[in-house]
Structure 1
Amino acid sequence: MKIGIVIPAHNEALTIASCLVAVQKAIDQLPEDITAYPLVVLDDCTDDTLAKVKAAGADYIQCEYRCVGKVRDMGIRHAIAQGAAWIACTDADSVVTTDWLVQQVNHIAQQPTDMICGVVSVDNWAHLTPKTQEDYIAHYQDRMGHRHIHGANLSFSSEAYLAVGGFSPLPCHEDVDLVKKVEDQGYAITWSNQVRVITSSRLDARANEGFSAFLANLEKSNL
Protein backbone atom coordinates (compact mmCIF):
# COMPACT_ATOMS: atom_id res chain seq x y z
CA MET A 1 0.00 0.00 0.00
CA LYS A 2 1.14 3.52 -0.76
CA ILE A 3 0.14 6.36 1.57
CA GLY A 4 0.10 10.00 0.53
CA ILE A 5 0.43 12.47 3.41
CA VAL A 6 -1.04 15.80 2.32
CA ILE A 7 -0.12 18.97 4.21
CA PRO A 8 -1.53 22.38 3.17
CA ALA A 9 0.67 25.33 4.14
CA HIS A 10 0.13 29.08 4.00
CA ASN A 11 3.05 30.99 5.54
CA GLU A 12 4.04 28.25 7.98
CA ALA A 13 7.82 28.82 8.08
CA LEU A 14 7.83 28.68 11.88
CA THR A 15 6.21 25.25 12.12
CA ILE A 16 6.63 23.29 8.87
CA ALA A 17 10.06 21.85 9.76
CA SER A 18 8.78 20.31 13.01
CA CYS A 19 5.72 19.01 11.17
CA LEU A 20 7.84 17.27 8.54
CA VAL A 21 10.29 15.81 11.08
CA ALA A 22 7.37 14.23 12.94
CA VAL A 23 5.83 12.91 9.71
CA GLN A 24 9.12 11.29 8.75
CA LYS A 25 9.39 9.60 12.16
CA ALA A 26 5.89 8.19 11.62
CA ILE A 27 6.85 6.96 8.15
CA ASP A 28 9.94 5.24 9.57
CA GLN A 29 7.73 3.06 11.81
CA LEU A 30 5.83 1.49 8.89
CA PRO A 31 6.52 -2.07 7.74
CA GLU A 32 8.57 -2.47 4.58
CA ASP A 33 5.59 -3.40 2.41
CA ILE A 34 3.99 0.02 2.99
CA THR A 35 5.44 3.18 1.50
CA ALA A 36 4.47 6.72 2.45
CA TYR A 37 5.59 10.20 1.54
CA PRO A 38 4.65 13.75 2.50
CA LEU A 39 3.34 16.25 -0.03
CA VAL A 40 3.23 19.90 1.04
CA VAL A 41 0.79 22.10 -0.86
CA LEU A 42 2.19 25.62 -0.63
CA ASP A 43 -0.70 28.05 -0.87
CA ASP A 44 0.33 31.63 -1.69
CA CYS A 45 3.31 31.54 0.69
CA THR A 46 5.22 34.81 1.02
CA ASP A 47 7.56 33.72 3.83
CA ASP A 48 10.29 31.05 4.01
CA THR A 49 7.97 28.03 4.00
CA LEU A 50 9.23 26.85 0.61
CA ALA A 51 12.86 27.05 1.72
CA LYS A 52 12.06 25.00 4.84
CA VAL A 53 10.24 22.36 2.76
CA LYS A 54 13.16 22.13 0.34
CA ALA A 55 15.62 21.82 3.23
CA ALA A 56 13.57 18.92 4.59
CA GLY A 57 13.65 17.21 1.20
CA ALA A 58 9.86 16.92 1.04
CA ASP A 59 7.87 16.87 -2.17
CA TYR A 60 5.72 19.93 -2.80
CA ILE A 61 3.39 21.64 -5.24
CA GLN A 62 2.27 25.28 -5.26
CA CYS A 63 -0.95 27.21 -5.78
CA GLU A 64 -2.52 30.56 -4.95
CA TYR A 65 -6.01 29.54 -3.87
CA ARG A 66 -6.17 30.90 -0.30
CA CYS A 67 -8.93 28.33 0.18
CA VAL A 68 -8.09 25.27 2.26
CA GLY A 69 -10.71 23.05 0.62
CA LYS A 70 -9.24 23.66 -2.83
CA VAL A 71 -5.70 23.30 -1.49
CA ARG A 72 -6.35 19.95 0.18
CA ASP A 73 -8.18 18.65 -2.89
CA MET A 74 -5.35 19.67 -5.21
CA GLY A 75 -2.79 17.88 -3.06
CA ILE A 76 -4.88 14.76 -2.62
CA ARG A 77 -5.61 14.38 -6.32
CA HIS A 78 -1.89 14.82 -7.02
CA ALA A 79 -1.06 12.10 -4.46
CA ILE A 80 -3.67 9.76 -5.94
CA ALA A 81 -2.25 10.34 -9.41
CA GLN A 82 1.12 9.25 -7.97
CA GLY A 83 -0.40 5.96 -6.85
CA ALA A 84 -1.51 6.64 -3.26
CA ALA A 85 -4.27 4.24 -2.20
CA TRP A 86 -4.63 5.82 1.25
CA ILE A 87 -4.51 9.53 2.09
CA ALA A 88 -3.52 10.91 5.49
CA CYS A 89 -4.16 14.60 6.10
CA THR A 90 -2.48 16.79 8.67
CA ASP A 91 -1.66 20.50 9.00
CA ALA A 92 1.61 22.41 8.85
CA ASP A 93 1.20 23.74 12.41
CA SER A 94 0.68 20.25 13.82
CA VAL A 95 2.94 17.39 14.92
CA VAL A 96 1.81 13.81 14.36
CA THR A 97 2.68 11.14 16.90
CA THR A 98 5.33 8.56 16.04
CA ASP A 99 2.69 5.81 15.69
CA TRP A 100 0.24 8.00 13.70
CA LEU A 101 0.51 5.97 10.51
CA VAL A 102 0.96 2.59 12.21
CA GLN A 103 -2.29 3.09 14.10
CA GLN A 104 -4.09 3.90 10.85
CA VAL A 105 -2.72 0.74 9.24
CA ASN A 106 -3.76 -1.26 12.32
CA HIS A 107 -7.33 0.01 12.09
CA ILE A 108 -7.52 -0.89 8.40
CA ALA A 109 -6.18 -4.39 9.11
CA GLN A 110 -8.40 -5.09 12.13
CA GLN A 111 -11.66 -3.79 10.69
CA PRO A 112 -11.60 -2.49 7.11
CA THR A 113 -12.63 1.14 7.02
CA ASP A 114 -12.93 3.89 4.42
CA MET A 115 -12.11 6.83 6.68
CA ILE A 116 -10.48 7.46 10.06
CA CYS A 117 -11.27 10.55 12.12
CA GLY A 118 -8.53 11.00 14.71
CA VAL A 119 -8.16 13.26 17.72
CA VAL A 120 -5.93 16.23 18.54
CA SER A 121 -4.11 17.32 21.65
CA VAL A 122 -3.23 20.97 22.27
CA ASP A 123 0.51 21.64 22.37
CA ASN A 124 0.65 24.46 24.94
CA TRP A 125 -1.84 26.03 27.33
CA ALA A 126 0.59 28.49 28.95
CA HIS A 127 -0.67 31.58 27.11
CA LEU A 128 -4.34 30.77 27.73
CA THR A 129 -6.44 31.16 30.85
CA PRO A 130 -6.90 28.08 33.05
CA LYS A 131 -10.66 28.35 32.45
CA THR A 132 -10.14 28.01 28.68
CA GLN A 133 -8.18 24.79 29.21
CA GLU A 134 -10.80 23.54 31.66
CA ASP A 135 -13.67 24.31 29.25
CA TYR A 136 -11.86 22.69 26.33
CA ILE A 137 -11.12 19.48 28.24
CA ALA A 138 -14.71 19.31 29.46
CA HIS A 139 -15.94 19.64 25.87
CA TYR A 140 -13.48 17.29 24.18
CA GLN A 141 -14.20 13.55 23.93
CA ASP A 142 -10.80 11.85 23.90
CA ARG A 143 -12.11 8.31 23.41
CA MET A 144 -12.94 5.74 20.78
CA GLY A 145 -16.24 6.60 19.14
CA HIS A 146 -15.77 10.35 19.59
CA ARG A 147 -17.41 12.59 16.99
CA HIS A 148 -14.73 15.24 16.51
CA ILE A 149 -13.56 16.16 13.01
CA HIS A 150 -10.14 17.69 12.38
CA GLY A 151 -8.54 18.41 9.01
CA ALA A 152 -5.25 18.06 10.89
CA ASN A 153 -6.01 14.38 11.56
CA LEU A 154 -8.22 12.89 8.89
CA SER A 155 -7.43 9.92 6.64
CA PHE A 156 -9.32 7.92 4.03
CA SER A 157 -9.09 5.61 1.06
CA SER A 158 -8.47 7.19 -2.32
CA GLU A 159 -11.41 5.19 -3.68
CA ALA A 160 -13.90 6.65 -1.20
CA TYR A 161 -12.49 10.14 -1.63
CA LEU A 162 -12.97 10.14 -5.38
CA ALA A 163 -16.39 8.47 -5.12
CA VAL A 164 -17.84 11.25 -2.95
CA GLY A 165 -16.28 14.05 -4.99
CA GLY A 166 -13.49 15.00 -2.59
CA PHE A 167 -13.07 18.15 -0.53
CA SER A 168 -15.41 20.93 -1.56
CA PRO A 169 -13.84 24.35 -2.37
CA LEU A 170 -14.66 25.78 1.04
CA PRO A 171 -12.54 28.28 3.03
CA CYS A 172 -13.39 26.46 6.29
CA HIS A 173 -15.28 23.38 7.54
CA GLU A 174 -14.16 21.51 4.43
CA ASP A 175 -13.33 18.59 6.71
CA VAL A 176 -16.82 18.45 8.22
CA ASP A 177 -18.33 18.63 4.73
CA LEU A 178 -16.20 15.72 3.50
CA VAL A 179 -17.00 13.51 6.47
CA LYS A 180 -20.73 14.17 5.97
CA LYS A 181 -20.48 13.15 2.31
CA VAL A 182 -18.62 9.96 3.23
CA GLU A 183 -21.17 9.16 5.93
CA ASP A 184 -24.17 9.97 3.74
CA GLN A 185 -22.93 7.64 1.02
CA GLY A 186 -22.63 4.71 3.40
CA TYR A 187 -18.87 4.39 3.74
CA ALA A 188 -17.37 3.03 6.95
CA ILE A 189 -15.87 5.61 9.33
CA THR A 190 -13.66 4.80 12.32
CA TRP A 191 -13.69 7.42 15.09
CA SER A 192 -10.38 6.74 16.78
CA ASN A 193 -8.44 8.22 19.68
CA GLN A 194 -5.53 5.90 18.85
CA VAL A 195 -4.68 8.07 15.82
CA ARG A 196 -3.33 11.22 17.42
CA VAL A 197 -1.93 14.62 16.41
CA ILE A 198 -0.61 17.45 18.58
CA THR A 199 -1.81 20.76 17.20
CA SER A 200 -0.90 24.38 17.77
CA SER A 201 -2.72 26.47 20.36
CA ARG A 202 -1.98 29.67 18.46
CA LEU A 203 -4.85 32.14 18.27
CA ASP A 204 -3.94 33.82 14.94
CA ALA A 205 -6.20 31.69 12.81
CA ARG A 206 -5.41 30.84 9.16
CA ALA A 207 -9.06 29.88 8.65
CA ASN A 208 -11.74 32.17 10.04
CA GLU A 209 -13.68 29.34 11.65
CA GLY A 210 -10.93 26.76 12.15
CA PHE A 211 -9.41 25.27 15.32
CA SER A 212 -7.43 28.43 16.19
CA ALA A 213 -10.57 30.50 15.87
CA PHE A 214 -12.40 28.06 18.15
CA LEU A 215 -9.70 28.44 20.82
CA ALA A 216 -9.63 32.23 20.36
CA ASN A 217 -13.38 32.47 20.87
CA LEU A 218 -13.17 30.25 23.94
CA GLU A 219 -10.40 32.42 25.36
CA LYS A 220 -12.28 35.63 24.58
CA SER A 221 -15.35 34.38 26.45
CA ASN A 222 -13.18 33.72 29.52
CA LEU A 223 -11.39 37.08 29.65
Structure 2
Amino acid sequence: MSTRVTVVVPAHDEETLLPGALAAVTAAARHPDLAGIPVRTVVVADACRDRTAVLARAAGATVLTTDCRNAGAARHAGVRHALDNWGGNLDDHWIATTDADSTVPPGWLAHQLAQAEAGWEAVVGTVTLPPASPLAARHRALYEATRPAGGVAWHHPHVHGANLGVAAAAYVDAGGFPPLATGEDRALVAALELRGHRVLRSAHVPVLTSARLDARAPDGFGAFLASMPHPTTA
Protein backbone atom coordinates (compact mmCIF):
# COMPACT_ATOMS: atom_id res chain seq x y z
CA MET A 1 0.00 0.00 0.00
CA SER A 2 1.28 3.47 -0.88
CA THR A 3 1.61 5.61 2.23
CA ARG A 4 3.27 8.63 0.64
CA VAL A 5 2.94 10.34 -2.71
CA THR A 6 5.17 12.61 -4.76
CA VAL A 7 3.75 14.62 -7.66
CA VAL A 8 6.39 15.72 -10.18
CA VAL A 9 5.67 18.67 -12.48
CA PRO A 10 8.29 19.72 -15.05
CA ALA A 11 7.99 23.35 -16.10
CA HIS A 12 9.74 25.53 -18.66
CA ASP A 13 8.69 29.20 -18.46
CA GLU A 14 5.22 28.36 -17.17
CA GLU A 15 4.45 31.31 -14.91
CA THR A 16 1.05 31.83 -16.54
CA LEU A 17 -0.39 28.31 -16.28
CA LEU A 18 1.58 26.75 -13.41
CA PRO A 19 -0.40 28.33 -10.53
CA GLY A 20 -3.62 26.76 -11.79
CA ALA A 21 -1.94 23.40 -12.25
CA LEU A 22 -0.56 23.45 -8.71
CA ALA A 23 -3.89 24.55 -7.22
CA ALA A 24 -5.49 21.51 -8.86
CA VAL A 25 -2.78 19.19 -7.51
CA THR A 26 -3.32 20.64 -4.02
CA ALA A 27 -7.06 19.98 -4.29
CA ALA A 28 -6.40 16.39 -5.41
CA ALA A 29 -4.04 15.90 -2.44
CA ARG A 30 -6.84 16.96 -0.10
CA HIS A 31 -9.28 14.32 -1.34
CA PRO A 32 -10.83 12.54 1.65
CA ASP A 33 -9.58 9.16 0.40
CA LEU A 34 -6.02 10.42 0.95
CA ALA A 35 -6.56 11.34 4.60
CA GLY A 36 -3.35 10.65 6.49
CA ILE A 37 -1.27 10.14 3.33
CA PRO A 38 1.37 12.86 2.87
CA VAL A 39 1.63 14.33 -0.62
CA ARG A 40 4.60 16.38 -1.77
CA THR A 41 4.85 18.28 -5.04
CA VAL A 42 8.18 18.74 -6.81
CA VAL A 43 8.29 21.35 -9.56
CA VAL A 44 11.30 21.02 -11.83
CA ALA A 45 11.95 24.52 -13.14
CA ASP A 46 13.88 23.61 -16.26
CA ALA A 47 15.77 26.37 -18.08
CA CYS A 48 13.26 28.97 -16.86
CA ARG A 49 13.74 32.69 -17.46
CA ASP A 50 10.51 33.79 -15.84
CA ARG A 51 8.87 33.54 -12.39
CA THR A 52 8.05 29.82 -12.59
CA ALA A 53 10.25 28.90 -9.60
CA VAL A 54 9.03 31.80 -7.47
CA LEU A 55 5.38 30.97 -8.07
CA ALA A 56 5.96 27.27 -7.43
CA ARG A 57 7.54 27.99 -4.04
CA ALA A 58 4.68 30.37 -3.21
CA ALA A 59 2.26 27.51 -3.88
CA GLY A 60 4.09 25.30 -1.40
CA ALA A 61 5.95 23.09 -3.88
CA THR A 62 9.53 21.96 -3.57
CA VAL A 63 11.46 23.50 -6.46
CA LEU A 64 14.34 21.81 -8.25
CA THR A 65 16.16 23.99 -10.77
CA THR A 66 17.70 22.39 -13.85
CA ASP A 67 19.03 23.70 -17.14
CA CYS A 68 18.73 20.64 -19.36
CA ARG A 69 15.77 21.83 -21.50
CA ASN A 70 14.67 18.24 -21.77
CA ALA A 71 11.34 16.88 -20.56
CA GLY A 72 12.61 13.38 -19.81
CA ALA A 73 15.66 14.58 -17.91
CA ALA A 74 13.54 17.08 -15.97
CA ARG A 75 10.92 14.51 -14.97
CA HIS A 76 13.59 12.03 -13.93
CA ALA A 77 15.43 14.69 -11.92
CA GLY A 78 12.22 15.43 -10.04
CA VAL A 79 11.60 11.78 -9.25
CA ARG A 80 15.21 11.18 -8.19
CA HIS A 81 15.05 14.24 -5.93
CA ALA A 82 12.00 12.79 -4.22
CA LEU A 83 13.49 9.32 -3.85
CA ASP A 84 16.83 10.63 -2.58
CA ASN A 85 15.43 13.14 -0.12
CA TRP A 86 12.29 11.48 1.22
CA GLY A 87 13.49 8.37 3.02
CA GLY A 88 11.56 5.21 3.63
CA ASN A 89 10.90 2.13 1.57
CA LEU A 90 10.39 2.30 -2.18
CA ASP A 91 7.48 -0.11 -1.81
CA ASP A 92 5.26 2.46 -0.09
CA HIS A 93 6.07 5.44 -2.34
CA TRP A 94 3.84 6.38 -5.28
CA ILE A 95 5.03 8.77 -8.00
CA ALA A 96 2.50 10.78 -10.03
CA THR A 97 3.34 13.16 -12.85
CA THR A 98 1.44 15.90 -14.58
CA ASP A 99 2.28 18.97 -16.65
CA ALA A 100 2.37 22.66 -15.88
CA ASP A 101 -0.30 23.42 -18.50
CA SER A 102 -2.69 20.77 -17.20
CA THR A 103 -5.39 20.65 -14.55
CA VAL A 104 -5.90 17.38 -12.71
CA PRO A 105 -9.40 16.56 -11.38
CA PRO A 106 -10.03 16.34 -7.61
CA GLY A 107 -10.14 12.54 -7.67
CA TRP A 108 -6.92 12.12 -9.66
CA LEU A 109 -4.61 10.90 -6.91
CA ALA A 110 -7.37 8.99 -5.14
CA HIS A 111 -8.03 7.04 -8.34
CA GLN A 112 -4.35 6.19 -8.80
CA LEU A 113 -3.92 5.04 -5.22
CA ALA A 114 -7.06 2.92 -5.40
CA GLN A 115 -5.59 1.15 -8.43
CA ALA A 116 -2.27 0.73 -6.62
CA GLU A 117 -4.14 -0.85 -3.71
CA ALA A 118 -5.71 -3.25 -6.22
CA GLY A 119 -2.25 -4.36 -7.33
CA TRP A 120 -1.52 -2.16 -10.32
CA GLU A 121 2.03 -0.81 -10.50
CA ALA A 122 1.33 1.98 -12.97
CA VAL A 123 -1.74 3.92 -14.07
CA VAL A 124 -1.71 5.45 -17.56
CA GLY A 125 -4.48 8.00 -17.94
CA THR A 126 -5.99 10.10 -20.71
CA VAL A 127 -6.28 13.81 -21.40
CA THR A 128 -9.02 16.05 -22.66
CA LEU A 129 -9.16 19.59 -24.04
CA PRO A 130 -11.24 22.49 -22.69
CA PRO A 131 -14.74 22.17 -24.18
CA ALA A 132 -14.58 25.76 -25.45
CA SER A 133 -11.50 25.04 -27.55
CA PRO A 134 -12.21 24.93 -31.30
CA LEU A 135 -9.98 21.84 -31.38
CA ALA A 136 -11.92 19.92 -28.72
CA ALA A 137 -14.45 18.06 -30.87
CA ARG A 138 -11.95 17.16 -33.56
CA HIS A 139 -9.41 16.00 -30.99
CA ARG A 140 -11.95 13.85 -29.19
CA ALA A 141 -13.05 12.13 -32.42
CA LEU A 142 -9.48 11.19 -33.30
CA TYR A 143 -8.36 10.49 -29.76
CA GLU A 144 -11.25 8.16 -28.95
CA ALA A 145 -11.39 6.42 -32.32
CA THR A 146 -10.59 3.06 -30.70
CA ARG A 147 -13.01 3.47 -27.80
CA PRO A 148 -15.58 0.64 -27.80
CA ALA A 149 -19.27 1.45 -27.61
CA GLY A 150 -21.68 0.43 -24.91
CA GLY A 151 -19.61 1.40 -21.90
CA VAL A 152 -17.03 -1.35 -22.43
CA ALA A 153 -13.75 -0.60 -20.67
CA TRP A 154 -11.38 1.25 -22.99
CA HIS A 155 -7.79 0.06 -22.70
CA HIS A 156 -6.60 3.08 -24.62
CA PRO A 157 -3.32 3.34 -26.56
CA HIS A 158 -2.32 6.77 -25.24
CA VAL A 159 0.48 7.75 -22.83
CA HIS A 160 0.81 11.22 -21.32
CA GLY A 161 3.20 12.56 -18.74
CA ALA A 162 0.30 14.83 -17.79
CA ASN A 163 -1.64 11.85 -16.41
CA LEU A 164 0.65 9.11 -15.21
CA GLY A 165 1.32 7.32 -11.94
CA VAL A 166 3.81 4.61 -11.04
CA ALA A 167 5.00 2.76 -7.96
CA ALA A 168 8.48 3.94 -7.03
CA ALA A 169 9.93 0.42 -6.97
CA ALA A 170 8.61 -0.29 -10.48
CA TYR A 171 9.92 3.06 -11.69
CA VAL A 172 13.42 2.28 -10.49
CA ASP A 173 13.31 -1.25 -11.89
CA ALA A 174 12.30 0.08 -15.33
CA GLY A 175 15.12 2.62 -15.38
CA GLY A 176 12.99 5.74 -14.95
CA PHE A 177 12.25 8.44 -17.49
CA PRO A 178 14.94 8.46 -20.19
CA PRO A 179 16.48 11.84 -21.19
CA LEU A 180 14.28 12.35 -24.23
CA ALA A 181 12.97 15.75 -25.30
CA THR A 182 9.72 14.06 -26.37
CA GLY A 183 8.31 10.60 -25.72
CA GLU A 184 9.92 9.98 -22.34
CA ASP A 185 6.51 9.00 -20.96
CA ARG A 186 5.91 6.40 -23.67
CA ALA A 187 9.43 5.03 -23.22
CA LEU A 188 8.90 4.59 -19.47
CA VAL A 189 5.59 2.77 -19.94
CA ALA A 190 7.14 0.52 -22.60
CA ALA A 191 9.97 -0.33 -20.20
CA LEU A 192 7.51 -1.07 -17.40
CA GLU A 193 5.56 -3.44 -19.64
CA LEU A 194 8.76 -5.08 -20.90
CA ARG A 195 9.82 -5.72 -17.30
CA GLY A 196 6.49 -7.38 -16.59
CA HIS A 197 4.99 -4.72 -14.31
CA ARG A 198 1.22 -4.43 -14.10
CA VAL A 199 0.20 -1.38 -16.12
CA LEU A 200 -3.41 -0.18 -16.16
CA ARG A 201 -4.61 2.01 -19.00
CA SER A 202 -7.55 3.89 -17.56
CA ALA A 203 -9.83 6.53 -19.08
CA HIS A 204 -11.84 7.07 -15.89
CA VAL A 205 -10.07 10.22 -14.64
CA PRO A 206 -8.93 12.33 -17.60
CA VAL A 207 -6.73 15.37 -17.05
CA LEU A 208 -7.65 18.69 -18.67
CA THR A 209 -4.73 19.97 -20.71
CA SER A 210 -4.22 23.12 -22.72
CA ALA A 211 -4.93 23.31 -26.43
CA ARG A 212 -1.95 25.52 -27.16
CA LEU A 213 -0.07 24.73 -30.34
CA ASP A 214 3.22 26.29 -29.23
CA ALA A 215 3.98 23.42 -26.88
CA ARG A 216 7.15 23.33 -24.81
CA ALA A 217 8.17 19.85 -25.96
CA PRO A 218 9.13 19.46 -29.65
CA ASP A 219 6.94 16.95 -31.47
CA GLY A 220 4.83 16.58 -28.33
CA PHE A 221 1.11 17.02 -27.71
CA GLY A 222 1.02 20.50 -29.22
CA ALA A 223 2.56 19.17 -32.41
CA PHE A 224 -0.08 16.44 -32.46
CA LEU A 225 -2.84 19.03 -32.17
CA ALA A 226 -1.29 21.13 -34.94
CA SER A 227 -1.05 18.12 -37.22
CA MET A 228 -4.70 17.09 -36.88
CA PRO A 229 -6.52 17.19 -40.23
CA HIS A 230 -8.90 20.08 -40.63
CA PRO A 231 -12.56 19.16 -41.09
CA THR A 232 -13.60 18.94 -44.70
CA THR A 233 -16.27 21.24 -46.04
CA ALA A 234 -19.07 20.15 -48.31
Give the structure-2-normalised TM-score.
Answer: 0.87
Gaps of 5+ in 1: none
Match of 1:145 in 2: 155
1:124 Cα deviation from its structure 2 partner: 4.5
Whether the aligned pair in 2 keeps the contact of 1:27 and 1:36 (CA below 8 Å) is: yes
Match of 1:87 in 2: 95
Whether the aligned pair in 1 keeps the contact of 2:126 and 2:207 (CA below 8 Å) is: yes
Give the structure-1-normalised TM-score.
Answer: 0.91
For residue 161 of structure 1, the aligned residue among 160, 163, 171 is 171
Q: Deviations over 1:43-93 (max 9, x none)?
A: 011112122212212111100000111000000011112147110000000
For residue 4 of structure 1, the aligned residue among 3, 6, 19 is 6
DSSP 3-state at the match of 1:4: strand
Q: Which moved more, 1:170-179 or 1:190-199?
A: 190-199
Indicate the percent of aligned positions where both proteins have the same amino acid: 36
Whether the aligned pair in 1 keeps the contact of 2:47 and 2:66 (CA below 8 Å) is: yes
Aligned length: 221
Question: Whose helix proportion is higher, 1 or 2?
Answer: 1
Whether the aligned pair in 2 keeps the contact of 1:129 and 1:222 (CA below 8 Å) is: no
Question: Whose strand proportion is higher, 1 or 2?
Answer: 1
1:141 Cα deviation from its structure 2 partner: 3.8
DSSP 3-state at the match of 1:194: coil
Q: Deviations over 1:106-125 (max 9, x none)?
A: 1122x201111011111245
1:195 Cα deviation from its structure 2 partner: 3.0
Match of 1:101 in 2: 109
DSSP 3-state at the match of 1:169: coil
Match of 2:128 in 1: 121
> Where does structure 1 differ by over 2 angstroms across 4 or more consecutive aligned residues?
30-33, 124-130, 132-144, 219-223
Gaps of 5+ in 2: none
Match of 2:227 in 1: 217
Distance in 2, Cα, partners of 1:205 & 1:122: 14
For residue 136 of structure 1, the aligned residue among 142, 157, 166 is 142
Distance in 1, Cα, partners of 2:171 & 2:97: 12
Whether the aligned pair in 1 keeps the contact of 2:129 and 2:136 (CA below 8 Å) is: no
